[in-house]
A and B are shown apart, each in its own frame.
Chain A
């Protein structure tokens, strides 16, 4: 699914430089704890989160996340946007809540890119 379609589905606005509309997204992952993201997310996902600090962008860079969505209308910190511009990871803001965003995207056919975990080591 292209970012242009995601923007339409979740009433999203792009907070970073450039036009990410043509970027293809393989699926989604929703989490607020960055270790959870790092543990479960597969590459080329869109990360839906309520956390807006620069660590989200760092996490996204490490986990090969294609784009970040801040839910509940949260505005990212300026340093978060700066870092995202630097790393070339688009940030999208949506007024919708986490459950609504996940639901809408999943219903529209965007699959989950969260791995199920076997917690025993």
Chain B
């Protein structure tokens, strides 16, 4: 193991603990959250105009511009200073603050937040790379910008995970279930697994988590390949999906299994060399199915056929959302 890749892993593990909001203050740019429509003052305007402006616009300060250059900022405090000495006729230039702290439009929002905290101020003029005033950023803008970004995240997630999981909530009955049926042809290796893929996809759309979908997918795929490889005429797969339970059945009309207990053993296979060349017949199918589902019932009679039933029970928290992978833990 090389050390550089380990340290990268460590960084990524630490990064995993950073919340989306913390991430956003680094990802979002000042230009994305700032207010562009700004009220500006000129140094020759009187302080009484400042009073009107702040009152009408419900703002607590404004930048002062001379010949397109940012030369100062007038805040509520400056206005109060003028009011205290009854000097509202004085020009803005007399009371404005000329020591201006600005934020760069291209900086991440976190830089503006640092300036807010360090200087105990709530508003910063935003300048572009040439020092030209392009907007104003307040703490409120930052909050609103983050909320908007989170809203977009949420919508993206909604679209990505468009699911049919509301089906069971929309249709009212004492017990609703969705039944999917697939006809599986013998020796149809080319399309083999097609039904299982569709079943797995359906489960994900219905709101099953990845682990449940994976367990069902693996079990039904093994059963589907068994129908293709071992039956005389193929068979039928039937999947019944209920909010609390998934029941999968693979039924065929022969030839039937002579020794069921032997067939369940890992490594036991009756597959031909031809089938093995295709990557099947490892003798792990039934063993694997049993491992993936909560309950497996195998009934077979030579000459009549085989009926394999697999059940997976869903915990309330499993029917929606993603609980992550715990491979094999649920096998019984």
Contacts and interface: CB of A to CB of B under 8 A. Distances in A.
Interface of A: 1, 32-36, 38-39, 42-43, 49, 51, 53-56, 58-59, 61-64, 79, 87, 108-109, 115, 117, 119, 121
Contacts of A35: 222, 280-285, 288
Interface string B207-238: 00010001001100110010000000000000
Given A35-B280, A38-B221, A43-B327, A62 B193 contact: yes
Contacts of B214: 43, 62-64
Nearest to A111: B1
A34 B218 contact: no
Interface of B: 1-2, 5-6, 189-190, 192-194, 196-197, 200, 210, 214, 217-218, 221-222, 225, 264-267, 276, 278-285, 287-288, 290-291, 325, 327-328
Given A42-B325, A109-B2, A115-B327, A62 B279 contact: no
28 contacts: A33-B280, A35-B222, A35-B281, A35-B283, A35-B288, A39-B284, A43-B210, A49-B279, A53-B189, A54-B190, A54-B192, A55-B278, A58-B192, A58-B193, A61-B193, A61-B217, A62-B196, A62-B197, A62-B214, A63-B214, A64-B214, A87-B197, A109-B5, A115-B327, A117-B266, A119-B266, A119-B287, A121-B264
A55 B193 contact: yes
Nearest to B193: A58
B200 A56 contact: no
Contacts of B189: 53, 55
Contacts of A59: 193, 221, 279
A105 B264 CA distance: 35
Contacts of B280: 33-35, 55
B190 A79 contact: yes
